[in-house]
Each structure stands twice: as structure tokens, then as C-alpha cells.
Amino acid sequence: MLSEKMEKALNKQINAELYSAYLYLSMASYFESVDLEGCANWMKAQTQEEMIHAMKIYDFVIERGGRVLLDAIEAPKQEWDSALAVFEHAYEHEKYVTSLINDLMNLAIEEKDHATQIFLQWFVSEQVEEEASASGVVQKLKLAGGPDGKGGGLFMVDRELGQRPLPVPMPQE
């Protein structure tokens, strides 16, 4: 059974994951509006990943006898100056989410909640991948498009990002 403090923190994280999905969907919409379909595809895949993360935590809270309580989701940013600016925002957001996951892990340790610690280990590892993925795109855009991310190589990066497959939801364990 989850402590009240842990349940509240996990509910807050569900909301953060849903906001992340909403943010990435807004980024996808921005990319659609500037005809960067590959970048939009990358963000749509990211949106789905964040929804999977939210549902993974949702299911864990329920499994541990808790109650999921959903809060309002803040409206995300809708405009950026360049593809590079969008991916820099995504990278900064992933670093922020990593800090949230680390705070959850610290709370689970403080609460001596071993089951939640084990559960959160997947998210700790996932955040390493999430940060590396976003950072990698930032670096490619800088190389392809120069410091402002608006050079001709942007179209090659866009084509590559269009190859990212949409995630398949994880099976229930």
C-alpha cells in the first residue's frame, strides 16, 4: 500500500507526464504548420511515449491500492522561432522531468517504499534515454543548420526524424 505522501507525489507525476504529452503534441502541431513532417512525427511519437508513461504510473497507483486523482493540465507553449528552438525546449523539458523522477525516487527512499523504488528504476533509466534522444536531435540540428537551426541541412534531419516509429504500448506485467 502506498503512503498518502507517495500517492500524492505519484498523482502529481501522472499530471506532469500528461502535460509532457500535451507539450509534445503542441510541438508536433507547430512542426505541421511549418511543413516539417518528420519533426512532427518525432513529436507525435514522443507524445505517445509520455501517455504510456502516465498510464504506467496510473496502473501502479491502482495496483498499490491508491486512488488516481487528475488535475487540470496547463496550456503548453505554441510558437517557437525555429526547429532548433523547439528541440532545445524539449531537451530542457526532459531535464526537468528527470528532476521530478529523481524527487520521486528520493521520496520512495525516504518512505522506505521498496516497491515504488523498484518501479521508479525503469523511469530513471528511461530519462537517461529521453535526455540523450532530445540532446542528439539538438546536436544534429546545430550541425545541419548552423547556430540558428535554419540551414539547408534541416530537411535532411527532418527526413531522418520522420523514420522514428510510433511506440507500441507496453503490455501489462
Q: Which domains does the chain have, with CATH numbers?
A: 4-161 (1.20.1260.10)
pLDDT-derived band at 170, boundaries 50, 70, 90: low
Instruction: For residues 5-27, give the mean pLDDT.
Output: 98
Given a cut of 90, whether residue 171 has pLDDT beyond it is: no
- Would you say 19 and 93 are in contact if contact means Cβ atoms under 8 Å apart? no
Given a cut of 60, whether residue 147 has pLDDT beyond it is: no
Instruction: For residues 33-55, give the mean pLDDT.
Output: 95
Model pLDDT, residue 5: 98
Q: What pTM was estimated for this model as a whole?
A: 0.89
pLDDT one-digit tens code per residue, 84-127: 999 999 999 999 999 999 999 999 999 999 999 999 999 999 99
